[in-house]
Structures are given as C-alpha cells and as structure tokens.
Structure 1
C-alpha cells in the first residue's frame, strides 16, 4: 500500500504567539470556526483576538463578534493555543538587535535554511533579499517591509556544527544549525556559559529528517545489501559483485562530491564509524540526479542519492547486522527505522529578537513542510502505512529467541495491527525511562492536530509500546506498557477536551517486533518506542 499523506492535518502553533509579540502587519488572515460545545450551532470568521476568556472574530455577515470561549470549541488550523492579538506593526521592540546570527552545518545552511527564512518572510508579509559576498559560506538575508525598511537581518554562516556551538557559548551565535545531536561536552560547555538544559524543547528543535538510498541498475539482480558490505564497497575493499554472491563484474562506484549533503550523511553514518573513506576509484558526479542516471545506465554500477532523485535507478534494501532488512522509503525515514537516517536540528540560545522565535515557530508549520521537502529533506508531516507492508518485520519478529518472545502476546499484537494502519509518528524514550525525547514532545502536538481533523475525528487510535532487549522479558513488558500509558496520558492532558478519550487505547508488547538490531545503543534506542496505529 502506498503511504497516505495527511499533510495539513496539524496547524501553526507558535507562530501565532510570535505575531502577538511583534504584531506583524501584512500577515494572512487566520480563518477559524467556533462551534458551540455539544453542537447545533457554529460561526466562522477571521480570528482577531483570543485571551483565553473570549474569541473575537470578523464574520462576513455579522461583522466583529465577541464570543465566550468557555462555550465554544475552536475548529481549524488557525485555532490558537495561547493568547493571540491582531497584528499591527512589523517593528522590533526598542533596544533589540536587528541581526539574527544562525551558524552551523553546510548541509542545512546551503539550501534548507534560506528557503525557510524566505517562507517565514512571506508568512509575515515581508520581503527577503539575499546577499552573498566573496565567501560562499556566508550569506545575509534582509527582511524588509512594504516600504523597503529593514525589519531584521539574518546572518547565515556555514562553517560547521562544532564551530557554531562554540559561537553559541561565547555569545556570537543565537541559533545553531546541527546535522547531529549535541554532545555531552557541548552541553557542559554551554552550561558553563549560562545556557543549561539544551536538550529541553525550548532549545532543541528537530526540524527535519535526512536519508539517502543506495541504488543500482534495474538490470542488477541485487535486492538487499548488508550495511557492512555497503561500507566495504564504497571504501573499495569489495571490487567485484562476485565477492557478495552475485554474477561477476567490476563494481563501479558513483557518488556526489564530498561537500554534498548526500555524501555527508553517508560519511557520517557508514564510513567514518568504521574508519573508512571513499575509494579513489569512485566516479564523482555533481548532482543526485546525475548519480541516479549514471547508475541506471550501468549494470555494474552502485551509487548514493537522495529519496527525491531515485528516477530510473533501483533502490537497495539495507540489511542490518542482526539480519533485519529495511526497505528504503520516506515512511521508514519518518519513523527513523531506515538505517541511513539522521535528524536535522536547530539549537537556540537566548532569543531577544522576536523574529528569531517566529522563524523557529514557522518551521513547525504546515507551510514549512513543503519547503523542507523541496530542499530534499524529509518533512515531519504524518503518513500512514498498512499492516500488509510490515510483513518483513513481523516475519523477523517470529524468529526471535524464546527468551525474547511470547507467542500469545505476539498473536495479540498481530490482531491489533491487522486491518489497521501505522502512522509515521513514533514516540521514543531514553534508556529505562518513560520520558519523551525532543522530537516526541513535538509529535504529541502533531498527533492531536491529526485527531482533530474531520478525516480522523471518529477513528480509533492504538498506542503500542515496546522496549529494547536489555533485561527480562517480563520487566520489559511492564516498561513497554508504562511507555504506552505515558504517551496516552500526555496526549489527553495536552488535548484537553478537544479529542474523544474513548477512541484511544494503549498496550505494551515488551521487546516484540523490533525495528532495529539490539546489538548497538543506536538500535536499542530505536526499539524503545510507542507506535501509533489507526483503525476505522
């Protein structure tokens, strides 16, 4: 079954807060529907104000109307979660620096961040004017109003994540673009500089996901390759297809240049951890599409490209060290269960310029998700995948050792999944913990918005909890149930009375049906999760 997009099912959350703070003229009208609790009556209009006690809307027939918030439910993508004031001016508060300094990863700063800044400017009715000087790693983007007066200046520097965290510590950077999570050493450095708890939702923001595919020609009989063999092929240690049990032929390696985002992902996830480098025999091509096209024409070729540029080449499944085979797809990247996946982060310090906070809030809006996809990253719009597409995972689970398995529990799990669809939203946890990680906390809001839409308002939601294989099966069963319960309770608390609690259920399934190998910390982290399944 093809993954079904539910794009647009969640709304801009924090952007409304920023608009209230800076009151930005020129922003698009926010249309909402106010429905009488219990039904029977509703009104629609442009939202002008919300102070938790009352809504003020501009209705086309009746003009400006004030309605008691305790008697109405707000329906629509523009519904506020916090006090909202109508816009008035783009100007900054007195004494606030106009410059927002965003430094870090070249992977993020080359295309993605300029697109997001442009999108943010459009969302507040401003213009974005780019300026690149003699140094291609430095860019300035001026945000101006309708009279060409500068509102704020975004400084983008792409000298790497390490250097950017040092700038955050010394006060020369407000926002870090990071293609990896913050390290313990960087956490300590920033804590000494007065920036504590940098893994909290206020500072750590998972803005996108990145993945790549290993491709061969359609004429190549290869279907799956182990991650170890992929590494050895690209390092030049395996040079003939016969060395991995396929018809003989010299292996021709194709790759993008070392500075490209695609190669950076592969180098970070596959080559560097094994102390390997790309073979000198590799044919370097200047684009992802060029790699795909070259491989498609070469029956002995193998290459790396992004999900957006598969074209006429064939994607190879990746086999992990324990024999678990994962098919490359946008869905498996969104769940982070495809081995060649990584998170893309922003880390924010103390933000005094309200446009800096507005930009971060905009990045989590539905409008920004299409820009993330346009920059060849994987956005976080929830998708659905049917049970029948999970067959490989279930087959692997049925071969688990007896100490990691319970047949009765497995039958119940299959019964829960059969006829349902898995949502790409997947909640993950720290070792032995029921505390949600950074992306999971944002996914609570995404799931709530999906459940509020008409398409999902009457569907049942199953929260299925799991553990890694560390410890006894019985204790992991308890822990997995606690995790499912934690998500269940957090979801209801965050949603208030806007979703039907009777439609949500939660169960724990210990260490059954792993999505990654339990022989590494990275794999165990992926297995500590709660999946979301949807049933009619």
Structure 2
C-alpha cells in the first residue's frame, strides 16, 4: 500500500508542475516493499514531463518531483507519493537513469545567507573532502556548484539568492529543497507548509540554526550621537521622531534609509520594534546593505539599519536601556542573542529524505570546521564562546542598581545568591529562549539544544559540570519569577536528557538554578526587553 501526502500548491507557483495524467493507483509490491512516504528530495532541475510507474495491475502516473538515487517522488491529484524506484517498471521521458544519477540539492532564500555564507560553506565543505569545486551561473538567477572527486561528480548544488519570503515560497512549490531564512517562519508560512505536505515546520528538526546575525543602527560619521534606546529607534522607524535633536543630537532633519522590503532580517527587526505598527512612509529604500551604509555616510541627517559587520563607511550606534540591556553588537552579544536586534540565520528543511551526499553536507554545517568558516564570513556561528563573569560587569552593575526594598525590587540577598551560583563559572554562548509565561523552547532554541546534546555525546564536556541558569523578565513579583525561571531551566534539562536517550554520559553533570529577574537583559516595559530577559543560560565550572 502506498502512503499518500496531501499537497496544496503555493498560489504563486500553481501550474509550474503541470497536471497529472492519471489518478493514483496501486503500485506492485515489488516497487513498494521498502517504501517510505514523502521522503525523497526533488532534483535540480526537475526532470520534465511525467512518468508511468508499474507493470501489471494498477499503475501510478504523474509529473516527477524528484529522485534521490533510491526513491522516486511523483505528483498526483491526491498528493505527492514516494516509492522505491525500479527503472524497469518506469516508462516515459522523465524516468531517471540511476547509472548517471548525480545527487543534487537546491537552496533558495535570504541574500544575507546566499551572498557570502552559503558559498563559503560550500567551498569549505569541498575543501574538507579534498574534492574539486566548480561553479557557474545558470538561468533563473541561480549559481550551480559541482563537487567532484577523481571518479566524477559527488554532489551538485544550486543556490538562488533572493529573500526569505521567496525561499520559503520556492520550498512550498517544489522549486527548492532547503529554504534560507534570516527570520523565523511566520504562522501563515507554517500553515502553508503543513498544507503542502512539508511537515510541521515549527518542529525542532525542521529549523536548522546555523548562525546569528544582527541589525545595527547607523548614522553619518560626525553626527555626534553614539547610542539610542530601542524605544527611540522604534519612534524613528514609525516616523514619529523626525529630527536629530529629539535624539540628543544637533537640530537636523532626519532621513531614514532602509534595505529592500523583502529583506528577512529587516522584517524581523521591524516586527520586534514596531509590532503591528506602521513603518514611516517616507523611508528611503535601497537594494542592499552596502547601499544603505553608503547613503547614510553621505547624508548628514541619515539613519539606517544594516547587518552586523556591514556598517562601513557609516558610524554604528549602540542600543542602550536602563535595565542592563546590552549596548553594542559584539561577537559575544550576538552569539548569545543578548543584543536586542539579533536575528537567527537558519535553514528550513521539509520532512522528507535527502540523498546521503546532500544530507552529509547539511550535517557538516554543524561541525567546528564549518563554524570557523562562518566566523570568517562575519557572522556568529553556533560554536560556543566562553564569556567570563568579569566581562559582564555592565549587567551586574545594572542589577545591583535596580535591587532593593519595595514591591518590585529584587532583594540584595538574591543578587548575593546569584554571585554564589555563578561566581566560579564561565558562561557559554548557547542561550535558550521562551515565549511570555511559557516554559516551552522556541524552535530555534531547540536547534541550539540539539547541538549541545551532540557535543555532549561527542565528549566535548566530559568531566565538566554544566549549569542551566534560568531567568525571567520583571513582570510579576520576584518570588514567582524565580519559580518560573527554575521551571524553564528544568524544561531545558528535561529536553536535553530526552535528546540524550534519558541520561547523561559518565563524567558529565547538568545542574539547574532559577535566578528570576536578578540579571535582566532588557527593560520589562518593552516587548523587546522582556523577550531578551526570558532565557536559560549555559554555564560551565571553570577548569
């Protein structure tokens, strides 16, 4: 019996696959004995036309969606169907030739990933194998890469540099195998993906976190302003602040410069800062981050937002707040996502099988070797950074200043307890975050946790004592917040143990602590500040 997945095509891509030629039918047992439903990866480019699979009895006919060397995937009026491929049972121009098959992987999405990061990873992967790499531009705005050893092609990849939105649309329409995203998928996109038979994209294994980036406000050199609050930045973006003197600068009309409307990083930052509010209608749009920075540098009244590491020749501005909010975008504040405009860079993968060679490339991205490639590309990877307590004086000073008697104050005795718990430890950059009042990890933090579990399995923490320290925002009383933060730390530990099969390897211990609102990362009066403060940090006993 063939399992059937249900697919509804993304509206903008309807008609690109073409009509099926017959209704779904039963394929002979010889062709389905090892069938695994909906797991074959599409091929780039998809073989044109349809294929007729089966011999004797009923057959299955429809356009070929993909072939991974073992499984053939067909489109039918009832959905996509995957089955073990037998060339002798397939007729039609679209039937693949297993003898000449080259595993392929199509990637499409955010230009921040596609312009530099993915090309660097592809080059690094080929180098790690000791294989040759060639590339060429192909129709459709793609770049084709071919990795070859002495016997011939090993893996063909294609990369389309576009936007997060279009990358997800390509995934929905069977025109990509992996979507490159500079922001989390929206609820609407998740629903479309589920309807398209791609699986639950909000599930941990569908989102593969590969790095963190950040957006940084910039101004013209010589403006004189060095920082501003997230609240002031939101007022600028909304068009309610229109002169530099309202930000503490000289009297000068303010001009807002931004990247293209479909920039995923910018979309994520605007959502964080404005919520459902409207962007200023007179914002000047540019084609790239480099163009934004150049325009701001030339405009004495200019202000803009660009990715971390792309601020030149403009002047980067720090973001500050009164509750310990981290000011500057630095490798450590971006890697921990403590900087308030940090954005995840992720791969979204459908719930289906990839050719082993393609799966090996995707797995390599999590390795330390690949993480070094990411750092050289100018983004903070997921390889843990070590951050001593002595380097966190700013947030400790803010916490002490805010402590004291009163209904909302954290007692000084609580801060003393924090110092006893953390004083002999180093913070590691992996940080896990939650929704308001919830102890459920978000999908990208789940991805972070899987990487931690793998590092523990690999022996990276053998003989070490790890601590999961939970924190909360400042809403509610400090006693309740301490309890909530401990629940969050326990939820992370429970999920970590589940990923490790129920227990820790010998020589590794993981403790938990609930530290409540004692070390806020942002002001609780703002959504951005509350989100930054709700977290579980990873600490390790100093050697």
TM-score, normalised to structure 2, is 0.67
Matches of 2:104 and 2:457, distance apart in 1? 38
Q: CA deviation at 1:530?
A: 1.3
- 2:149 is equivalent to residue 131 of structure 1: no
Query: Closer, same or farther in 2 for the Cα pair 1:293/1:387, shift >3 Å?
Result: farther
Query: Closer, same or farther in 2 for the Cα pair 1:150/1:279, shift >3 Å?
Result: same
**Partner residue of 1:500?**
507
Give the SS at the match of 2:204. Answer: coil
**1:338-370 per-position Cα deviation (integer Å, ceiling 9, x unaligned):** 122111111111133222222221111112123
Give the SS at the match of 1:500. Answer: coil
**Partner residue of 1:484?**
489
**1:467-501 per-position Cα deviation (integer Å, ceiling 9, x unaligned):** 33455543332232232234345556739664534
Query: Closer, same or farther in 2 for the Cα pair 1:188/1:285, shift >3 Å?
Result: closer
- 1:2-17 equivalences under 5 Å are none
Query: Closer, same or farther in 2 for the Cα pair 1:527/1:229, shift >3 Å?
Result: closer
Query: Closer, same or farther in 2 for the Cα pair 1:360/1:523, shift >3 Å?
Result: farther
Give the SS at the match of 2:309. Answer: helix
Match for 2:215 among 205, 212, 217?
212
Query: Closer, same or farther in 2 for the Cα pair 1:107/1:307, shift >3 Å?
Result: closer
Q: CA deviation at 1:140?
A: 1.7
- Asked whether the equivalents of residues 472 and 481 of structure 2 are also in contact (C-alpha less than 8 Å), the reply is yes
**Partner residue of 2:379?**
377
Note the residue ranges of structure 2 that are not aligned, 5 or more in a row: 1-96
Query: Closer, same or farther in 2 for the Cα pair 1:460/1:250, shift >3 Å?
Result: same
Q: CA deviation at 1:322?
A: 7.2
Matches of 1:120 and 1:164, distance apart in 2? 22
- 1:390-469 equivalences under 5 Å are 390-398=392-400, 399=402, 402-403=407-408, 405-418=410-423, 420-444=425-449, 446-447=451-452, 460-469=465-474
Q: CA deviation at 1:243?
A: 2.8
- Asked whether the equivalents of residues 470 and 536 of structure 2 are also in contact (C-alpha less than 8 Å), the reply is yes
Match for 2:149 among 145, 156, 177?
145
Give the SS at the match of 1:402. Answer: coil
- Asked whether the equivalents of residues 214 and 303 of structure 1 are also in contact (C-alpha less than 8 Å), the reply is yes
**Partner residue of 2:113?**
108
Q: CA deviation at 1:124?
A: 3.2
- Asked whether the equivalents of residues 183 and 268 of structure 2 are also in contact (C-alpha less than 8 Å), the reply is no
Query: Closer, same or farther in 2 for the Cα pair 1:333/1:221, shift >3 Å?
Result: same
- 2:326 is equivalent to residue 317 of structure 1: no
Match for 1:200 among 182, 194, 203?
203
- 1:33-72 equivalences under 5 Å are none
- 1:496-535 equivalences under 5 Å are 498=505, 500-501=507-508, 504-519=510-525, 523-535=529-541
**Partner residue of 2:126?**
121
- Asked whether the equivalents of residues 209 and 344 of structure 1 are also in contact (C-alpha less than 8 Å), the reply is yes
Q: CA deviation at 1:408?
A: 2.1
Query: Closer, same or farther in 2 for the Cα pair 1:115/1:319, shift >3 Å?
Result: same
Query: Closer, same or farther in 2 for the Cα pair 1:120/1:255, shift >3 Å?
Result: same
- 2:363 is equivalent to residue 361 of structure 1: yes
Query: Closer, same or farther in 2 for the Cα pair 1:477/1:235, shift >3 Å?
Result: closer
Q: CA deviation at 1:204?
A: 1.2
Give the SS at the match of 1:152. Answer: strand
Matches of 2:452 and 2:132, distance apart in 1? 33
Aligned length: 440
Matches of 1:497 and 1:286, distance apart in 2? 47
Give the SS at the match of 2:198. Answer: coil
**1:144-183 per-position Cα deviation (integer Å, ceiling 9, x unaligned):** 2324x33332222234333433443343332111222122
Matches of 1:484 and 1:344, distance apart in 2? 24
Larger RCO, structure (CA 8 Å, separation 6 or more): 1
Matches of 1:248 and 1:221, distance apart in 2? 12
Q: CA deviation at 1:323?
A: 8.3
- 2:171 is equivalent to residue 164 of structure 1: no
Query: Closer, same or farther in 2 for the Cα pair 1:403/1:226, shift >3 Å?
Result: closer
- Asked whether the equivalents of residues 256 and 288 of structure 1 are also in contact (C-alpha less than 8 Å), the reply is no
Q: CA deviation at 1:216?
A: 5.0
Query: Closer, same or farther in 2 for the Cα pair 1:307/1:181, shift >3 Å?
Result: closer
- Asked whether the equivalents of residues 234 and 278 of structure 1 are also in contact (C-alpha less than 8 Å), the reply is no
Matches of 1:234 and 1:252, distance apart in 2? 10
Matches of 2:472 and 2:292, distance apart in 1? 42
**Partner residue of 2:181?**
178
Matches of 1:285 and 1:167, distance apart in 2? 21
Q: Which moved more, 1:471-480 or 1:505-514?
A: 471-480
Q: Which moved more, 1:433-442 or 1:343-352?
A: 433-442
Query: Closer, same or farther in 2 for the Cα pair 1:345/1:448, shift >3 Å?
Result: closer
Q: Which moved more, 1:109-118 or 1:158-167?
A: 158-167
Give the SS at the match of 1:338. Answer: coil
Q: Which moved more, 1:485-494 or 1:328-337?
A: 485-494
